[in-house]
Structure 1
Amino acid sequence: MKVLQVAAEGSPFLKTGGLADVIGALPKALKESGVDVRVIMPRYKNIPETYRNRMEYLGNIEVPLAWRRVYCGLFKLVYDGVVFYFIDNEYYFGARDGAYGYYDDGERFAYFNRAVLQALPELEFQPDIIHSHDWHAAMIAVLMQKHYLHDLFYTSIRTVYTIHNLQFQGIYPYGVFNELLGLTHDYFQYDRVEHEGCVNFMKGGINYSDIVTTVSRTYADEIRTPHFGEGLDGALRWAGGRLRGIVNGIDDQLYDPRSDAKLFQMYSEEDAIQGKAANKKELQRLVGLDVNESVPLIGMVGRLTDQKGLDLVAHVLHEVMEADDVQLVVLGTGDDRYEQMFRDYAARYPGKLAVQTKFDDGLARQIYAASDLFLMPSRFEPCGLSQLLALRYGSIPIVRETGGLNDTVQAYNEFTGEGNGFSFTNYNAHDMLYTIRRAIAFYTRSDDWQRLVRTAMSGDYSWTESARQYREIYEELIERRIQQLEAQAADAEAAAADNRLIADNDVVEQSIARSDLSEDSQRARPTAGLSPQVL
């Protein structure tokens, strides 16, 4: 089985968000399961020189883009056993910082989609499946149907499209559609790629891909509704059984408290309580909290935005700081008002709240290891990785029951001992506050808490199960393709048999006709020599 993953970013080459983590980890897990998986992405300026210098130049092609034919260089690098291909164009990718945020992103990624398809024969890799990720690669299935299915190289390829964040859809004016994608007007319809008078890359991926996935089962259900669907709920409902949900995983070798050198002290499931206490004291010293290993420490790591539930936190933070014996450590950047809010509270409650408005992977790991609880009250969350990392390091999540948070965190049941965290349903600040206080209450119960930490750390949060589910989807599409080919062959054979039968009938009918003519002729001959009197 051959699979090509298409994405705009991938770790360790370039990362702006969780998509890069997926592209860095999922192919490795698929390869371990026996899939010949490869990745293709742009060759950005900001890819570290250590990787750029190791890339092998494969050649170049021309990519049709409207009336132009545009240069495309092809590079290759093997990383962790996975082949990565890179689309090189100095104007679109090689001379710009970062990945997105340019006025011509529509043109840049229209080019990228077309270049991927144009490059495949030159790469000497004919995939069974092209698996595209997010809006940047969403037009692969559309362009393949329009421009490439006449070529036998492409006719057997099937497509999978994964939505990581429905908020970013790749919506651009009609000119991008007509001028750059080379699509005829019949594609610019509401049930195809048109959305409110513009071309919508993501909508094209949803409507034209053989199977559409998103990054959790709950989120797959949520986005079929107007509240979560971001204007595409109709297309997602129409997708029906083609829409599936598969939870992301994490790289459990990269994130392992037993071997993570960035921690103050490494620990395992067996000595987690002691190990986390040691990490807590060191983190408290580092960020300026009162050093007290018995006080529950809540961690928050991530973007400081409304989507992450920071408006709920703002409503009750004063109450928590005043009334509860608890500490809070926050790491992240985002909206100015939330960054300033935490700075103000850190100044007002020194020793109880500390904030670092930056991103620091080492400090993030130290917070996961040191914190007792991890707060993630998201308004919506397609999957979420922070709660998985918190569980891996034995920090018990407090989450709202939405998207991937609902699929990965099960509320603790003190009567059965089941569950790995705490959760609340309604998007309500005081529901969240009640849940925080419930979690703090269980923190003081040693037996319950040790059970919770053991359960959290013993869970399987790796990509193994996710990769198995993706492989099942690939196998389903390949089997469907085989069945289609067999059905086509059967239809062709039936048509040939019908043609033979028709031909045989024609022969019989012609033979009968000749026989009838012969008999008529035989009857006619004697009468020719008889006299009129006899007749």
Structure 2
Amino acid sequence: MNILLAAAEINPFAKGGGMADVTSYLCIEWAEMGHDVVAVLPSYKAIDKSAYGLVETEISFDVSMGFSKEKAVVYRGTFPNSSAKIYLIGHEEFFDEEYVYGDRNEDEDDDRRFIFFNKAIPELCKAINFKPDILNCHDYHTSFVMPILKTQYQSEPLFERTGTIFTIHNLSYQGIYDKYRVMDFTEMKHKEFEVGSWFEHEGKVNFMKTGIMYADRIITVSPTYAEEIKEPYYSEGMQDAINSRLRDITGVLNGVNYRIWDPKIDIFLSKNYNSESLEIKEQLKLEYLEESKIPSKKHHLPLISFVNRLTEQKGLDIIENKINKLLSTNKFILAVLGEGQEKYEDLIIEAKNQFPNNVILHLKYDEGEAHRLIAASDFLLMPSKFEPCGLTQMYALKYGTIPIVRSTGGLADTITNYISEKGIGNGISFPHYNRDEFEAAIRKAVDLYKSKEHIEIIRRNGMEENHSSKRCAKKYIEIFKEVLDNKD
């Protein structure tokens, strides 16, 4: 089938978070299955086009944005080592930013630039004569392609049977904007934006709600998250919209691209290993600690890493009041890789200053550093307040690094608490989001580390699991076929 995937981030071209990894492996896996895959991405200034073999085409067209027409230019390429095609839609002003999602602290113009991107996608299909059987939109940034197709291109032969699927990666990012601006940019009828409409939510236009209401089917990135978002605590104000589409929502657990995340072949590691050569993992840990200037007298301590955004969602508010108390025990080394909210960055900097020989800090995310740190670590910390899926814990499993997680969303679907008497389980999990359970989980990890036998059992349990992206991609195809069958 012809599959069109639209997203604001796709690895390796542009990455702001885990969604980039998912959109990337989906395209690659679908292409390997024999499908004709076209991915569409904004042409951000930060993308090194020459590095990825992206070339500017002769394709250009005007996109009507209400009171103005804006020119779109198009770049073309393919995914590395894949037949999947990638098209970048550019504009002289809209994507001229350092960050994928615009200025880090200012996104007030995102409605205009993403509506431009959404409106350009059908025109791109016409320009390259691509007739999509399926349009898969990821998160709110691409949600308006679906109503645009259904209201402005319904008579176009290219789109007469196109099935639409909306993938929700994180319901907390919704794209909420002034409805009068969006009316002008989309050129849709004013009645479409009245109170109670599919676009409107609390007097604003809500891009997330738009995707939920206009898609033929909705996918969340884990089965547990699909259940959780039915509840007010997790629905982020979208409960009515979600409850109106319950029959059409399916949870599909994200997967791992083992072409990239596998310690047997990882290009970022100085030595490769598997479950039968865990002594090499220990060597990588010692190398990492030496490079990080951790005194050799502390090398026997467990290394617990946090590889994620420094935000409340990722559990920083329960870490906040416990971190100094735990570090003062001098029973583990904490390594942090990631950036985020200033107050949490300051928290980790303060911990580093107070415990310089027990804290490793990298506030700028780096892909290679993430691979090396996960391989070197004994434990990976993910005490999330909520977690639609999470990929890092699945990377950790493959690398024999034991996840310490709060049991929610995809973490609940992938991590089972280790039972020492039975030798089953692949990590340490705690059910309730509070500081005491977080502290108890850390102390359990430190105690467990004293038993080499149990540590090796847990590591091998995790390394032998299969969370391949192929499984995830196949499930998507099953849903695509169901959507197309319903159109016959």
- TM interval, short-chain normalised: over 0.9
The structure with the greater share of residues assigned to helix is: 1
Report what 2:303 is aligned to: 297
Give the aligned residue type for 1:36: D
Give the aligned residue type for 1:12: P
> How many matched pairs?
480
Q: What is the CA–CA distance in structure 2 between the aligned matches of 1:314 and 1:60, rounded to whole Å?
A: 51
1:171 correspondence with 2:172: no
Superposition map of 1:57-68 within 5 A: 57-68=57-68
1:43 to partner: Cα distance: 1.7
What is the aligned-residue identity percentage? 35
Report what 1:99 is aligned to: 100
Q: What is the CA–CA distance in structure 2 between the aligned matches of 1:134 and 1:342, rounded to whole Å?
A: 30
Structure 2 residue corresponding to 1:150, chosen from 142, 150, 155: 155
Q: What is the CA–CA distance in structure 1 between the aligned matches of 2:128 and 2:253, rounded to whole Å?
A: 31
Q: What is the CA–CA distance in structure 1 between the aligned matches of 2:179 and 2:353, rounded to whole Å?
A: 51
Structure 1 residue corresponding to 2:431, chosen from 416, 425, 435: 425
Give the aligned residue type for 1:389: Y
Q: Contact 2:13 / 2:52 at 8 angstroms: preserved in 1? A: no
Q: What is the CA–CA distance in structure 2 between the aligned matches of 1:250 and 1:55, rounded to whole Å?
A: 29
Give the aligned residue type for 2:24: G
Q: What is the CA–CA distance in structure 2 between the aligned matches of 1:39 and 1:474, rounded to whole Å?
A: 16
Q: Contact 1:13 / 1:47 at 8 angstroms: preserved in 2? A: yes
- SS of 1:416's equivalent? coil
Q: What is the CA–CA distance in structure 2 between the aligned matches of 1:90 and 1:51, rounded to whole Å?
A: 21
Give the aligned residue type for 2:94: Y
1:235 to partner: Cα distance: 0.5
Report what 1:87 is aligned to: 89
1:275 correspondence with 2:280: yes
Map Cα deviations across residues 24-61 of structure 1 (whole Å, 9 max, x no partner).
22110111223222101122222104157641514222
Q: Contact 1:191 / 1:207 at 8 angstroms: preserved in 2? A: no
Pair 1:321–1:97, CA change in 2 (3 A) = closer
What runs of 5+ residues in structure 1 fail to find an aligned partner? 483-535
Map Cα deviations across residues 69-128 of structure 1 (whole Å, 9 max, x no partner).
4322233212232111122221323x4443323432111111111111122122111010
Superposition map of 1:440-479 within 5 A: 440-479=446-485
1:420 to partner: Cα distance: 0.8
Give the aligned residue type for 2:83: G
What runs of 5+ residues in structure 2 fail to find an aligned partner? none
1:8 to partner: Cα distance: 1.6
Q: Contact 1:300 / 1:329 at 8 angstroms: preserved in 2? A: yes
Give the aligned residue type for 1:173: D
Structure with max Cα Rg: 1
1:263 to partner: Cα distance: 2.2
Q: Contact 1:176 / 1:199 at 8 angstroms: preserved in 2? A: no
Specify which structure has the bigger relative contact order, considering alpha-carbon pairs within 8 angstroms and separated by 6 or more residues. 2
Structure 2 residue corresponding to 1:117, chosen from 99, 116, 122: 122
Q: Contact 1:56 / 1:77 at 8 angstroms: preserved in 2? A: no
Structure 1 residue corresponding to 2:351, chosen from 314, 337, 345: 345
Structure 2 residue corresponding to 1:328, chosen from 330, 334, 340: 334
Superposition map of 1:167-246 within 5 A: 167-188=172-193, 189-246=195-252
- SS of 2:468's equivalent? coil
- SS of 1:323's equivalent? coil
Q: Contact 1:369 / 1:395 at 8 angstroms: preserved in 2? A: yes
Give the aligned residue type for 1:70: E
**Higher alpha-carbon deviation: 454-463 or 314-323:** 314-323
Q: What is the CA–CA distance in structure 2 between the aligned matches of 1:364 and 1:258, rounded to whole Å?
A: 16
- SS of 1:375's equivalent? strand
Report what 1:410 is aligned to: 416
Report what 1:520 is aligned to: none
Q: Contact 2:263 / 2:273 at 8 angstroms: preserved in 1? A: yes
Q: Contact 2:330 / 2:358 at 8 angstroms: preserved in 1? A: no
Q: What is the CA–CA distance in structure 2 between the aligned matches of 1:363 and 1:156, rounded to whole Å?
A: 45
Q: Contact 2:402 / 2:426 at 8 angstroms: preserved in 1? A: yes
1:366 correspondence with 2:367: no
Q: What is the CA–CA distance in structure 2 between the aligned matches of 1:455 and 1:406, rounded to whole Å?
A: 16
- SS of 1:40's equivalent? strand
Q: What is the CA–CA distance in structure 1 between the aligned matches of 2:294 and 2:303, rounded to whole Å?
A: 10
Give the aligned residue type for 1:92: F
Report what 2:6 is aligned to: 6
Report what 2:486 is aligned to: 480
Pair 1:126–1:400, CA change in 2 (3 A) = same
Map Cα deviations across residues 151-193 of structure 1 (whole Å, 9 max, x no partner).
2332211100111121221111122232111221332242411
Q: What is the CA–CA distance in structure 2 between the aligned matches of 1:440 and 1:124, rounded to whole Å?
A: 59
1:349 to partner: Cα distance: 2.5
1:331 to partner: Cα distance: 1.8
For normalisation by structure 2, the TM-score amounts to 0.94
1:287 correspondence with 2:302: no
Q: What is the CA–CA distance in structure 1 between the aligned matches of 2:325 and 2:88, rounded to whole Å?
A: 52
Pair 1:269–1:157, CA change in 2 (3 A) = same
Give the aligned residue type for 1:100: Y
1:17 to partner: Cα distance: 1.7
Pair 1:476–1:58, CA change in 2 (3 A) = farther
Q: What is the CA–CA distance in structure 2 between the aligned matches of 1:143 and 1:125, rounded to whole Å?
A: 17
1:137 correspondence with 2:142: yes
Q: Contact 1:13 / 1:51 at 8 angstroms: preserved in 2? A: no
Q: What is the CA–CA distance in structure 2 between the aligned matches of 1:460 and 1:7, rounded to whole Å?
A: 26
Q: What is the CA–CA distance in structure 2 between the aligned matches of 1:306 and 1:131, rounded to whole Å?
A: 29
Map Cα deviations across residues 325-366 of structure 1 (whole Å, 9 max, x no partner).
222222222233322322332333332222222222222222
- SS of 1:228's equivalent? helix
Map Cα deviations across residues 453-502 of structure 1 (whole Å, 9 max, x no partner).
111112212211100110101111111112xxxxxxxxxxxxxxxxxxxx
For normalisation by structure 1, the TM-score amounts to 0.86
Report what 2:132 is aligned to: 127
Give the aligned residue type for 1:453: R
**Higher alpha-carbon deviation: 206-215 or 53-62:** 53-62
- For the aligned residue pairs, the C-alpha RMSD in angstroms reads 1.9
Report what 1:495 is aligned to: none
- SS of 2:304's equivalent? strand
Q: What is the CA–CA distance in structure 1 between the aligned matches of 2:316 and 2:24, rounded to whole Å?
A: 29
Give the aligned residue type for 2:168: I
Q: What is the CA–CA distance in structure 2 between the aligned matches of 1:337 and 1:153, rounded to whole Å?
A: 50
Q: What is the CA–CA distance in structure 2 between the aligned matches of 1:100 and 1:113, rounded to whole Å?
A: 15
- SS of 1:328's equivalent? strand
Q: What is the CA–CA distance in structure 2 between the aligned matches of 1:91 and 1:364, rounded to whole Å?
A: 32
Q: Contact 2:310 / 2:338 at 8 angstroms: preserved in 1? A: yes
1:378 to partner: Cα distance: 0.7
